[in-house]
Amino acid sequence: MCGIVGYIGTKKAKPILINGLLRLEYRGYDSAGIATMEKDGIKIVKEKGRIANLDAKEEINSLEGTIGIGHTRWATHGKPSAVNSHPHYDNSKTFAVVHNGIIENYHELRKFLEDNGYHFLSDTDTEVIPNLIHYYYKKEHDFLKSVKLACDDLKGSFALEILCNDYPDNMIVVRQDSPLVIGKGLNEIYISSDIPAILSFTKDFYFLNDREYAVLSRKNIEFYDNNLNSIDKMVKSIEWNTASAEKDGYEDFMLKEIYEQPNSIRETIGSKLSENKISFTDFEISKDYLETINRIYIVACGTAKNAGLATKATFENFCKIPTEVDIASEFRYRDPLINEHTLCIYISQSGETADTIAALKLAKQKGAKTIAVANVIGSSITRESDYCVYTHAGPEIAVASTKAYTSQVVLLNILALYFAEVLERVPALEIDNIKKEIMDLPKKAEITLGNVAEIKNFANTVYKETDIFFLGRGIDSYVAEEASLKLKEISYIHSESYPAGELKHGPIALIENDVTVIGIITNPKLVEKTVSNIQEVITRGAKTLVITNQKINDEQFYKTIHIPEVNPCLSPILSIIPLQLLAYYISKEKGLDVDKPRNLAKSVTVE
């Protein structure tokens, strides 16, 4: 959602902050602003709309300070406007704050502050924070202690950067259920919501846990726990290539990331599978423990949830353990049946998805073991879980996830096979055969990307449509769900996915002349049934595209795209690629902003 950046060093802060905000555009926003520490105190410049609007303001060029904070806002409380943009002052302009998250009790805090003589200029929940800090500062006259006392009163989620006129060489940052990273350079420090925003400046990062504080100066960082006891933090080196956060000649990040999939799949495989041997050095799970597990939950949101659905069958078929896939925002509120005999796997590309982290904490409270699957080292979900495993997709900038999804499906399949080897419930030869097929996936992904001309042509014929439907059976129905989501996200075309066998139970009523229906057929056991279902929509006038690796009569469909043959449990890794490209090219035909679709953000860090 919102994005924050910060800088404290010897260079002019303004261009660094603007650069960082531009790199956070993919998170989604409606306004932006920065504050810098000038010789005569904190100065704020902010504006509604794009960062270019902010950078075009005349007064921003007068900012010379070497300490500053910046923010891209996603409106929650108060409409998008310059006055509701961050940063926010307190009434005395002693403090300036930027805030990611939501303060759930801001109404009562605002009433308390108004009763104590404070007034408010904006409609935001954030404006209570600098004024609350000031309220305590009048009593304590101590920057850190005042921030801590204010945070004690806050309910909800927050990542904060705070400047104080009386401490012109310092900045304080703190987080609770909202992402924040601190990058360490030579006599300079960078702060951001996401690593890619500051990756070009440093590869050395500190990660705060909830309710931990960092007091920053140009040469030093002091860390404190929630009781303000001094604590030590280990720096972590992030080996992402800075070029992976650039477009590198591609028109859009999404297209670049689609084409990066052979490599991201290869890197993810190489981290766990080599010479037919699966190795999880991150953790070891014993046969005795796995034999006590009577249920696996895979919990996630959006595309990550679809990755879980795509691998449910592998866990069940090879581990012989019932596996459920659930939406994190539903899971956490329905009192799921979890105990010490439950294994819970949580998937999040960013590792900061609020509902997923909350669902993980719930499972731990109920005694279950938890495994986090994430793409970002040191992210919140990896620190909260009992075990964590990383995909190796590299930075994913486009809002619509592509390479993260295929990397997640690859890694979850390898994890399921690892459990299967430990449990010894299926013949070793079956597992070895799947391993060999996994090793061939990068090459097959490259072959699949060769269909781009056919996909472009089909996109050109359907981009003006208002409804598109996706069909599949078994695992293919879950790929249909992900393909439908991709199309909705970036083209704004209404689309739905259905298990093909459900057509006659209602959805076929939606089929009329010339509507587009996309079918996925990758399981040899389900070819005849799925073809029969697609024939039913053809007889009612539908225009059909079929993605398949099976031998079928192409002439019966409007268009058929063939992909390499692979074991059905691995087919989602290949069959989704042409459908990612289809969504991309439809969006381009419509002239839309592919990387930053309306109303969406890359990381959903609040409920």
Quick one: pLDDT at residue 39?
93
Quick one: pLDDT at residue 353?
85
Quick one: pLDDT at residue 439?
94
Angstrom CA distances, 394 to 128, 207, 261, 448, 490, stand at 37, 18, 10, 21, 22
- What's the average model confidence in pLDDT over 404-410? 97
Identify the residue with better confidence: 281 or 65.
65
What residue ranges do the domains of the chain occupy? Answer: 3-238, 247-439, 450-589
CATH superfamily of 450-589: Glucose-6-phosphate isomerase like protein; domain 1 (3.40.50.10490)
CATH superfamily of 247-439: Glucose-6-phosphate isomerase like protein; domain 1 (3.40.50.10490)
Quick one: pLDDT at residue 161?
97
Quick one: pLDDT at residue 604?
65
Identify the residue with better confidence: 60 or 81.
60
User: For residue range 231-260, what is the model confidence (pLDDT) as tens digits?
Assistant: 999 888 877 665 556 777 889 999 999 999
Quick one: pLDDT at residue 214?
96
Identify the residue with better confidence: 91 or 378.
91
Q: Which amino acid is at 313?
A: A
Distance from C-alpha of 393 to C-alpha of 402, rounded to nearest angstrom: 10
Using pLDDT thresholds of 50, 70 and 90, give the confidence band for residue 405: very high
Identify the residue with better confidence: 163 or 503.
163
Distance from C-alpha of 81 to C-alpha of 47, rounded to nearest angstrom: 7
Residue 606 pLDDT exceeds 60: no
353, 360 contact by CB (below 8 A): no
Phi then psi for residue 351, to 5 deg, are: 75, 10
Instruction: Tell me if residue 2 is catalytic.
Output: yes
Quick one: pLDDT at residue 480?
97
- What's the average model confidence in pLDDT over 441-459? 94
Least Cα distance to 201 among 64, 390, 13, 383 occurs for 13
Residue 27 pLDDT exceeds 70: no
Using pLDDT thresholds of 50, 70 and 90, give the confidence band for residue 335: confident
486, 307 contact by CB (below 8 A): no
User: For residue range 181-201, what is the model confidence (pLDDT) as tens digits?
Assistant: 899 988 899 999 888 778 888
343, 369 contact by CB (below 8 A): yes
Distance from C-alpha of 74 to C-alpha of 28, rounded to nearest angstrom: 7
Quick one: pLDDT at residue 317?
96
- What's the average model confidence in pLDDT over 287-316? 96
User: For residue range 581-602, what is the model confidence (pLDDT) as tens digits?
Assistant: 999 999 999 999 998 888 776 6
Least Cα distance to 468 among 307, 582, 340 occurs for 582
Residue 1 pLDDT exceeds 60: no
- What's the average model confidence in pLDDT over 161-186? 92
- What's the average model confidence in pLDDT over 271-298? 90
Q: Which residues of 99-128 are buried (b: 16+ CB within 10 A; e: fewer)?
A: bbbbbeebeebbebbeeeebeeebebbbbb
Quick one: pLDDT at residue 607?
58
The HSE-up count of residue 127 (CA atoms within 13 Å, CB side) is 22
- Give the global pTM: 0.77
236, 269 contact by CB (below 8 A): no
- What's the average model confidence in pLDDT over 170-176? 95
Instruction: Tell me if residue 344 is catalytic.
Output: no
The CATH number that domain 3-238 falls under is: 3.60.20.10
Tokens read off for 37: 């520490």
Q: Do the domains 450-589 and 247-439 match in fold?
A: yes
Quick one: pLDDT at residue 603?
61
Angstrom CA distances, 113 to 87, 102, 166, stand at 19, 18, 22
Question: Hey, is 42 helix, strand or coil?
Answer: strand
* % of the chain at pLDDT higher than 70: 96
Spot the catalytic one: 2, 301, 319, 569.
2
Residue 230 pLDDT exceeds 80: yes
190, 201 contact by CB (below 8 A): yes
- Rounded to the nearest integer, the mean pLDDT of the chain is 91
- Residue recorded with tokens 């930027």: 98
Spot the catalytic one: 14, 148, 435, 602.
602
CB atoms inside a 10 Å sphere around CB 232: 5
Residue 314 pLDDT exceeds 60: yes
Using pLDDT thresholds of 50, 70 and 90, give the confidence band for residue 93: very high
- What's the average model confidence in pLDDT over 362-380? 90
Q: Which amino acid is at 493?
A: I
Question: Hey, is 418 helix, strand or coil?
Answer: helix
Quick one: pLDDT at residue 44?
93
* N- to C-terminal Cα separation, the chain: 11
Tell me the DSSP string of 541-573.
T-EEEEEESS---GGGSSEEEE-----GGGHHH
Residue 442 pLDDT exceeds 90: yes
Quick one: pLDDT at residue 303?
95
Least Cα distance to 354 among 325, 377, 331 occurs for 331
Rounded to 5°, the CA angle 292-345-290 comes to 20
Tokens read off for 367: 């005694």
User: For residue range 520-560, what is the model confidence (pLDDT) as tens digits?
Assistant: 999 999 999 999 899 999 998 899 999 999 999 888 899 99
CB atoms inside a 10 Å sphere around CB 37: 26
The residues, any chain, with a CB within 8 Å of residue 389's CB and separated by 6 or more, are: 272, 280, 282, 283, 371, 372, 373, 411, 415
Question: Hey, is 227 helix, strand or coil?
Answer: coil
- What's the average model confidence in pLDDT over 351-376? 91
Strands 204-207 and 236-237: antiparallel
213-217, 325-329, 395-399, 464-468: lowest mean pLDDT where? 395-399
